[in-house]
Amino acid sequence: MLQAPILRVLIATPFGARQRGGIDRLTDLIVDTIENSPNCRIQVSRLITRGTGMLIWAPLIFSWALIRFWTAKRRGEVDLLHINLAAGGSAIRKAFLARVARRLGVPYVVHLHGSRFHQFWPSAGPYVRKQVDRLFVESAGIIVLGKYWSKLVTDHVPEVEDKIIVLPNATAPIRFARVSATDGRVRISFLGELGQRKGTPQLVEALGRLASRQDWVATIAGNGEVPETIARAEQLGIEDRVKVPGWLDSTAASEVLRGTDIFVLPSFAENLPMSILEAFACGIAVIATPVGAVADVIAHESNGLLVPPGDVDALTDALLRLIEDGKFRDFLGAAAKRDHVKHYEIDAYVSRLTDIWLKAAAIRIA
Protein backbone atom coordinates (compact mmCIF):
# COMPACT_ATOMS: atom_id res chain seq x y z
CA MET A 1 0.00 0.00 0.00
CA LEU A 2 1.37 3.41 -0.99
CA GLN A 3 2.05 5.80 1.85
CA ALA A 4 0.81 9.38 1.60
CA PRO A 5 3.50 11.94 0.69
CA ILE A 6 5.04 13.82 3.58
CA LEU A 7 5.88 16.80 1.39
CA ARG A 8 4.31 18.23 -1.76
CA VAL A 9 6.63 20.48 -3.79
CA LEU A 10 5.77 22.73 -6.72
CA ILE A 11 8.83 23.46 -8.88
CA ALA A 12 8.58 26.77 -10.76
CA THR A 13 10.34 26.12 -14.06
CA PRO A 14 10.33 28.16 -17.28
CA PHE A 15 9.31 25.89 -20.14
CA GLY A 16 8.20 22.50 -18.81
CA ALA A 17 9.08 18.85 -19.31
CA ARG A 18 11.65 17.80 -21.94
CA GLN A 19 12.40 21.33 -23.08
CA ARG A 20 15.69 22.98 -23.94
CA GLY A 21 17.65 24.91 -21.34
CA GLY A 22 19.61 23.86 -18.29
CA ILE A 23 16.89 24.64 -15.72
CA ASP A 24 14.32 22.42 -17.35
CA ARG A 25 16.84 19.65 -18.05
CA LEU A 26 17.82 19.61 -14.38
CA THR A 27 14.15 19.70 -13.33
CA ASP A 28 13.46 16.70 -15.57
CA LEU A 29 16.22 14.77 -13.80
CA ILE A 30 14.95 15.76 -10.35
CA VAL A 31 11.36 14.76 -11.14
CA ASP A 32 12.38 11.49 -12.82
CA THR A 33 14.67 10.51 -9.94
CA ILE A 34 12.03 11.19 -7.29
CA GLU A 35 9.24 9.49 -9.21
CA ASN A 36 11.41 6.40 -9.79
CA SER A 37 12.41 6.15 -6.14
CA PRO A 38 10.08 3.64 -4.42
CA ASN A 39 10.85 4.86 -0.91
CA CYS A 40 10.62 8.59 -1.53
CA ARG A 41 7.53 10.16 0.01
CA ILE A 42 7.97 13.51 -1.67
CA GLN A 43 5.57 14.50 -4.43
CA VAL A 44 6.81 16.95 -7.05
CA SER A 45 5.06 18.72 -9.90
CA ARG A 46 6.03 21.50 -12.31
CA LEU A 47 4.66 25.03 -12.33
CA ILE A 48 5.40 26.45 -15.80
CA THR A 49 6.02 30.20 -15.58
CA ARG A 50 7.19 31.22 -19.08
CA GLY A 51 6.12 28.67 -21.70
CA THR A 52 7.61 27.67 -25.03
CA GLY A 53 5.55 29.91 -27.31
CA MET A 54 6.08 33.51 -28.38
CA LEU A 55 7.02 36.01 -25.69
CA ILE A 56 3.65 37.73 -26.15
CA TRP A 57 1.98 34.74 -24.48
CA ALA A 58 4.28 34.74 -21.43
CA PRO A 59 2.03 36.99 -19.25
CA LEU A 60 -0.95 34.71 -19.90
CA ILE A 61 1.05 31.59 -19.03
CA PHE A 62 2.37 33.23 -15.88
CA SER A 63 -1.16 34.26 -14.87
CA TRP A 64 -2.27 30.66 -15.30
CA ALA A 65 0.67 29.56 -13.13
CA LEU A 66 -0.53 31.90 -10.37
CA ILE A 67 -4.04 30.43 -10.61
CA ARG A 68 -2.64 26.90 -10.43
CA PHE A 69 -0.55 27.82 -7.42
CA TRP A 70 -3.51 29.39 -5.61
CA THR A 71 -5.68 26.36 -6.42
CA ALA A 72 -3.03 23.93 -5.21
CA LYS A 73 -2.77 25.80 -1.91
CA ARG A 74 -6.54 25.87 -1.49
CA ARG A 75 -6.74 22.10 -2.07
CA GLY A 76 -3.86 21.33 0.29
CA GLU A 77 -1.69 20.12 -2.58
CA VAL A 78 1.42 22.22 -1.96
CA ASP A 79 3.65 22.50 1.10
CA LEU A 80 6.70 24.13 -0.48
CA LEU A 81 7.51 26.15 -3.60
CA HIS A 82 10.87 25.69 -5.33
CA ILE A 83 11.65 28.83 -7.36
CA ASN A 84 14.17 28.46 -10.18
CA LEU A 85 15.57 31.94 -10.74
CA ALA A 86 17.37 33.57 -13.66
CA ALA A 87 17.94 37.18 -14.72
CA GLY A 88 15.67 39.64 -16.49
CA GLY A 89 12.02 38.73 -16.87
CA SER A 90 12.53 35.56 -14.87
CA ALA A 91 13.57 37.55 -11.81
CA ILE A 92 10.58 39.90 -12.12
CA ARG A 93 8.13 36.99 -12.47
CA LYS A 94 9.70 35.03 -9.61
CA ALA A 95 9.75 38.02 -7.27
CA PHE A 96 6.00 38.37 -7.83
CA LEU A 97 5.50 34.62 -7.42
CA ALA A 98 7.37 34.78 -4.11
CA ARG A 99 5.13 37.62 -3.00
CA VAL A 100 2.07 35.46 -3.74
CA ALA A 101 3.67 32.58 -1.82
CA ARG A 102 4.12 34.79 1.21
CA ARG A 103 0.49 35.89 1.01
CA LEU A 104 -0.62 32.25 0.83
CA GLY A 105 1.67 31.19 3.67
CA VAL A 106 3.69 28.79 1.49
CA PRO A 107 7.43 28.66 2.27
CA TYR A 108 9.75 28.78 -0.73
CA VAL A 109 13.31 27.95 -1.68
CA VAL A 110 15.17 30.10 -4.22
CA HIS A 111 17.45 28.27 -6.68
CA LEU A 112 19.72 30.73 -8.48
CA HIS A 113 20.67 29.67 -12.03
CA GLY A 114 21.03 32.67 -14.33
CA SER A 115 24.48 33.18 -15.82
CA ARG A 116 23.84 36.93 -16.16
CA PHE A 117 22.31 37.54 -12.76
CA HIS A 118 25.45 39.37 -11.62
CA GLN A 119 24.83 41.91 -14.39
CA PHE A 120 21.06 42.15 -13.98
CA TRP A 121 20.80 42.57 -10.20
CA PRO A 122 22.87 45.75 -9.68
CA SER A 123 21.57 47.37 -12.88
CA ALA A 124 17.85 46.78 -12.20
CA GLY A 125 15.74 49.73 -11.19
CA PRO A 126 15.26 50.49 -7.48
CA TYR A 127 11.78 48.93 -7.28
CA VAL A 128 12.78 45.70 -9.04
CA ARG A 129 15.98 45.47 -7.00
CA LYS A 130 13.97 45.88 -3.79
CA GLN A 131 11.60 43.08 -4.80
CA VAL A 132 14.45 40.75 -5.75
CA ASP A 133 16.20 41.48 -2.46
CA ARG A 134 12.99 40.61 -0.62
CA LEU A 135 12.67 37.41 -2.66
CA PHE A 136 15.95 36.25 -1.12
CA VAL A 137 15.49 37.71 2.36
CA GLU A 138 12.10 36.09 2.99
CA SER A 139 12.98 32.71 1.50
CA ALA A 140 13.28 29.53 3.56
CA GLY A 141 16.54 28.65 1.80
CA ILE A 142 18.78 29.74 -1.08
CA ILE A 143 20.54 27.29 -3.37
CA VAL A 144 23.51 28.49 -5.42
CA LEU A 145 25.73 26.50 -7.76
CA GLY A 146 29.14 27.65 -6.56
CA LYS A 147 31.22 30.01 -4.43
CA TYR A 148 31.03 32.89 -6.92
CA TRP A 149 27.24 32.96 -6.64
CA SER A 150 27.28 32.59 -2.87
CA LYS A 151 29.43 35.72 -2.64
CA LEU A 152 27.18 37.56 -5.11
CA VAL A 153 24.11 36.96 -2.95
CA THR A 154 25.78 37.78 0.37
CA ASP A 155 27.29 40.97 -1.09
CA HIS A 156 23.79 42.18 -1.99
CA VAL A 157 21.83 40.87 1.00
CA PRO A 158 24.30 39.97 3.79
CA GLU A 159 21.51 38.97 6.18
CA VAL A 160 20.78 35.79 4.18
CA GLU A 161 24.25 34.28 4.57
CA ASP A 162 23.01 31.50 6.87
CA LYS A 163 20.35 30.48 4.36
CA ILE A 164 22.75 29.82 1.47
CA ILE A 165 23.55 26.26 0.41
CA VAL A 166 26.08 25.52 -2.33
CA LEU A 167 24.68 22.66 -4.40
CA PRO A 168 26.35 22.17 -7.80
CA ASN A 169 24.26 20.85 -10.67
CA ALA A 170 24.21 17.15 -11.40
CA THR A 171 23.46 14.80 -14.27
CA ALA A 172 22.55 11.16 -14.68
CA PRO A 173 25.36 8.64 -15.01
CA ILE A 174 26.05 7.73 -18.62
CA ARG A 175 24.78 4.27 -19.59
CA PHE A 176 26.28 4.15 -23.09
CA ALA A 177 29.84 3.51 -24.21
CA ARG A 178 31.71 6.09 -26.24
CA VAL A 179 32.58 5.07 -29.79
CA SER A 180 36.01 5.40 -31.36
CA ALA A 181 36.63 7.38 -34.53
CA THR A 182 36.82 5.17 -37.59
CA ASP A 183 39.23 7.51 -39.39
CA GLY A 184 41.46 8.34 -36.42
CA ARG A 185 40.55 12.03 -36.42
CA VAL A 186 40.01 13.83 -33.12
CA ARG A 187 36.37 14.86 -32.68
CA ILE A 188 35.63 18.26 -31.12
CA SER A 189 32.13 19.20 -29.93
CA PHE A 190 30.15 22.14 -28.62
CA LEU A 191 26.55 21.94 -27.36
CA GLY A 192 24.66 25.08 -26.37
CA GLU A 193 23.32 28.35 -27.66
CA LEU A 194 25.42 29.62 -30.55
CA GLY A 195 26.47 33.22 -30.08
CA GLN A 196 28.74 35.66 -28.31
CA ARG A 197 27.84 34.69 -24.72
CA LYS A 198 28.84 31.08 -25.29
CA GLY A 199 31.99 32.04 -27.20
CA THR A 200 31.16 30.19 -30.43
CA PRO A 201 32.60 32.97 -32.66
CA GLN A 202 35.92 32.53 -30.84
CA LEU A 203 35.67 28.75 -31.17
CA VAL A 204 35.17 28.99 -34.93
CA GLU A 205 38.12 31.40 -35.19
CA ALA A 206 40.32 28.96 -33.24
CA LEU A 207 39.29 26.10 -35.49
CA GLY A 208 40.06 28.29 -38.47
CA ARG A 209 43.63 28.63 -37.25
CA LEU A 210 43.87 24.83 -37.36
CA ALA A 211 42.59 24.66 -40.93
CA SER A 212 45.89 23.31 -42.29
CA ARG A 213 45.62 20.23 -40.09
CA GLN A 214 43.57 17.27 -41.27
CA ASP A 215 43.47 15.37 -37.96
CA TRP A 216 40.27 16.85 -36.48
CA VAL A 217 36.56 17.35 -37.13
CA ALA A 218 34.05 19.42 -35.14
CA THR A 219 30.35 19.63 -34.35
CA ILE A 220 28.93 22.95 -33.14
CA ALA A 221 25.32 22.23 -32.22
CA GLY A 222 22.59 24.36 -30.71
CA ASN A 223 20.07 27.09 -31.31
CA GLY A 224 20.96 30.75 -31.82
CA GLU A 225 23.36 32.11 -34.44
CA VAL A 226 23.34 29.05 -36.70
CA PRO A 227 23.53 30.81 -40.12
CA GLU A 228 26.26 33.15 -38.90
CA THR A 229 28.32 30.23 -37.62
CA ILE A 230 27.97 28.32 -40.90
CA ALA A 231 28.91 31.41 -42.89
CA ARG A 232 32.05 32.06 -40.85
CA ALA A 233 33.16 28.42 -41.12
CA GLU A 234 32.81 28.73 -44.91
CA GLN A 235 34.85 31.96 -44.94
CA LEU A 236 37.62 30.19 -43.01
CA GLY A 237 37.57 27.19 -45.35
CA ILE A 238 36.66 24.64 -42.68
CA GLU A 239 33.03 23.96 -43.61
CA ASP A 240 33.95 20.43 -44.74
CA ARG A 241 35.05 19.55 -41.20
CA VAL A 242 32.65 21.62 -39.06
CA LYS A 243 29.05 20.44 -38.78
CA VAL A 244 26.50 23.01 -37.56
CA PRO A 245 23.26 21.01 -37.28
CA GLY A 246 21.25 23.47 -35.18
CA TRP A 247 19.45 22.51 -31.99
CA LEU A 248 19.52 18.81 -31.06
CA ASP A 249 17.15 16.93 -28.79
CA SER A 250 18.54 14.93 -25.88
CA THR A 251 18.90 11.72 -27.92
CA ALA A 252 20.82 13.42 -30.73
CA ALA A 253 22.97 15.36 -28.23
CA SER A 254 23.86 12.09 -26.50
CA GLU A 255 24.93 10.66 -29.87
CA VAL A 256 27.23 13.64 -30.37
CA LEU A 257 28.80 13.07 -26.94
CA ARG A 258 29.26 9.38 -27.71
CA GLY A 259 31.50 10.40 -30.57
CA THR A 260 33.39 13.25 -28.86
CA ASP A 261 37.03 13.39 -27.80
CA ILE A 262 37.19 17.08 -26.78
CA PHE A 263 34.24 19.10 -25.49
CA VAL A 264 34.61 22.89 -25.70
CA LEU A 265 32.56 25.58 -23.95
CA PRO A 266 34.44 28.91 -24.23
CA SER A 267 31.71 31.04 -22.62
CA PHE A 268 31.88 34.64 -21.44
CA ALA A 269 29.14 34.07 -18.82
CA GLU A 270 27.85 30.90 -17.17
CA ASN A 271 26.49 29.67 -13.88
CA LEU A 272 27.30 25.95 -13.93
CA PRO A 273 26.55 24.44 -17.35
CA MET A 274 24.84 21.06 -17.53
CA SER A 275 26.77 20.36 -20.73
CA ILE A 276 30.12 20.35 -18.91
CA LEU A 277 28.81 17.87 -16.35
CA GLU A 278 27.39 15.69 -19.12
CA ALA A 279 30.79 15.70 -20.80
CA PHE A 280 32.37 14.79 -17.45
CA ALA A 281 29.95 11.88 -17.11
CA CYS A 282 31.08 10.61 -20.52
CA GLY A 283 34.76 10.83 -19.62
CA ILE A 284 35.49 13.53 -22.21
CA ALA A 285 38.35 16.02 -21.94
CA VAL A 286 36.84 19.50 -21.49
CA ILE A 287 38.10 22.95 -22.43
CA ALA A 288 36.16 25.79 -20.79
CA THR A 289 36.51 29.27 -19.31
CA PRO A 290 36.68 30.09 -15.57
CA VAL A 291 33.38 31.96 -15.40
CA GLY A 292 30.61 31.56 -12.82
CA ALA A 293 30.97 28.24 -10.98
CA VAL A 294 32.96 26.54 -13.77
CA ALA A 295 36.23 27.02 -11.88
CA ASP A 296 34.69 25.19 -8.90
CA VAL A 297 34.35 22.12 -11.12
CA ILE A 298 37.34 22.25 -13.48
CA ALA A 299 40.83 22.26 -12.01
CA HIS A 300 43.19 23.35 -14.78
CA GLU A 301 45.30 20.47 -16.10
CA SER A 302 43.83 18.10 -13.49
CA ASN A 303 40.40 17.28 -14.90
CA GLY A 304 40.15 19.76 -17.79
CA LEU A 305 41.67 22.87 -19.29
CA LEU A 306 40.69 26.49 -18.59
CA VAL A 307 41.34 29.38 -20.97
CA PRO A 308 40.51 33.08 -20.53
CA PRO A 309 37.18 34.18 -22.08
CA GLY A 310 37.63 35.63 -25.55
CA ASP A 311 41.29 34.57 -25.83
CA VAL A 312 41.43 32.91 -29.26
CA ASP A 313 45.19 32.29 -28.97
CA ALA A 314 44.80 30.38 -25.69
CA LEU A 315 41.80 28.45 -27.03
CA THR A 316 43.74 27.48 -30.17
CA ASP A 317 46.71 26.34 -28.07
CA ALA A 318 44.46 24.25 -25.79
CA LEU A 319 42.76 22.59 -28.76
CA LEU A 320 46.10 21.86 -30.41
CA ARG A 321 47.51 20.42 -27.19
CA LEU A 322 44.64 17.96 -26.80
CA ILE A 323 44.56 17.08 -30.50
CA GLU A 324 48.25 16.17 -30.45
CA ASP A 325 48.49 14.56 -27.00
CA GLY A 326 46.09 11.63 -26.82
CA LYS A 327 47.46 10.38 -23.51
CA PHE A 328 46.87 13.72 -21.81
CA ARG A 329 43.41 13.90 -23.37
CA ASP A 330 42.56 10.48 -21.97
CA PHE A 331 43.99 11.44 -18.57
CA LEU A 332 41.73 14.49 -18.34
CA GLY A 333 38.69 12.51 -19.47
CA ALA A 334 39.27 9.77 -16.90
CA ALA A 335 39.73 12.33 -14.11
CA ALA A 336 36.56 14.12 -15.17
CA LYS A 337 34.56 10.90 -15.06
CA ARG A 338 35.87 10.06 -11.57
CA ASP A 339 34.89 13.52 -10.35
CA HIS A 340 31.43 13.16 -11.85
CA VAL A 341 30.87 9.88 -10.00
CA LYS A 342 32.08 11.44 -6.76
CA HIS A 343 30.39 14.84 -6.89
CA TYR A 344 27.87 15.31 -9.70
CA GLU A 345 25.56 12.30 -9.98
CA ILE A 346 21.85 12.96 -9.73
CA ASP A 347 20.94 10.41 -7.00
CA ALA A 348 23.20 12.03 -4.41
CA TYR A 349 22.06 15.45 -5.61
CA VAL A 350 18.37 14.65 -5.11
CA SER A 351 19.11 13.26 -1.66
CA ARG A 352 20.68 16.59 -0.65
CA LEU A 353 17.91 18.55 -2.33
CA THR A 354 15.13 16.71 -0.51
CA ASP A 355 16.91 17.35 2.80
CA ILE A 356 16.92 21.07 1.93
CA TRP A 357 13.20 20.92 1.11
CA LEU A 358 12.28 19.12 4.32
CA LYS A 359 14.24 21.62 6.41
CA ALA A 360 12.70 24.56 4.54
CA ALA A 361 9.21 23.18 5.15
CA ALA A 362 10.11 22.39 8.78
CA ILE A 363 9.20 18.72 8.28
CA ARG A 364 10.93 15.92 10.13
CA ILE A 365 10.95 12.32 8.96
CA ALA A 366 9.70 10.01 11.68
Q: Where are the domains of the chain?
A: 7-170+345-360, 186-343
How many of the other CB atoms lie within 10 Å of CB of 178? 15
Instruction: State residue 38's pLDDT score.
Output: 81
* Rounded Cα–Cα distance for residues 65 and 97 (Å): 9
Instruction: State residue 366's pLDDT score.
Output: 40
Confidence (pTM): 0.90
Instruction: State residue 1's pLDDT score.
Output: 46
Are 232 and 243 in contact by the 8 Å Cβ rule? The answer is: no
How many of the other CB atoms lie within 10 Å of CB of 162? 8
Are 306 and 315 in contact by the 8 Å Cβ rule? The answer is: no
CA 178 and chain centroid, separation:
23
Are 361 and 44 in contact by the 8 Å Cβ rule? The answer is: no
* Rounded Cα–Cα distance for residues 172 and 29 (Å): 7
**CB crowding 120-136: b at 16 or more within 10 Å, else e:** bbeebeeeebebbbebb
Chunked into runs of 10 residues, the chain (366 residues) has average pLDDT values of 79 91 92 90 95 87 97 96 96 97 97 92 95 97 96 97 97 85 94 96 98 97 96 97 94 94 97 95 97 96 98 98 98 97 96 96 63
* Rounded Cα–Cα distance for residues 231 and 242 (Å): 11
C-beta pairs of 226-232 under 8 Å, 24+ apart in sequence: 226/194, 228/194, 229/194, 229/200, 229/201, 229/204, 232/201, 232/204, 232/205, 232/208
* Rounded Cα–Cα distance for residues 165 and 125 (Å): 27
Tell me the CATH number for domain 186-343.
3.40.50.2000
* Rounded Cα–Cα distance for residues 15 and 20 (Å): 8
Q: What one-letter code names the amino acid at 9? A: V
Instruction: State residue 228's pLDDT score.
Output: 97
Angstrom CA distances, 290 to 158, 257, 266, 332, stand at 25, 22, 9, 17
Instruction: State residue 20's pLDDT score.
Output: 78
Instruction: State residue 363's pLDDT score.
Output: 62
Question: Phi and psi (nearest 5°) for 189?
Answer: -135, 150
Domains 7-170+345-360 and 186-343 share a fold: yes
CATH superfamily, with its number, for domain 7-170+345-360: Glycogen Phosphorylase B; (3.40.50.2000)
Instruction: State residue 2's pLDDT score.
Output: 53
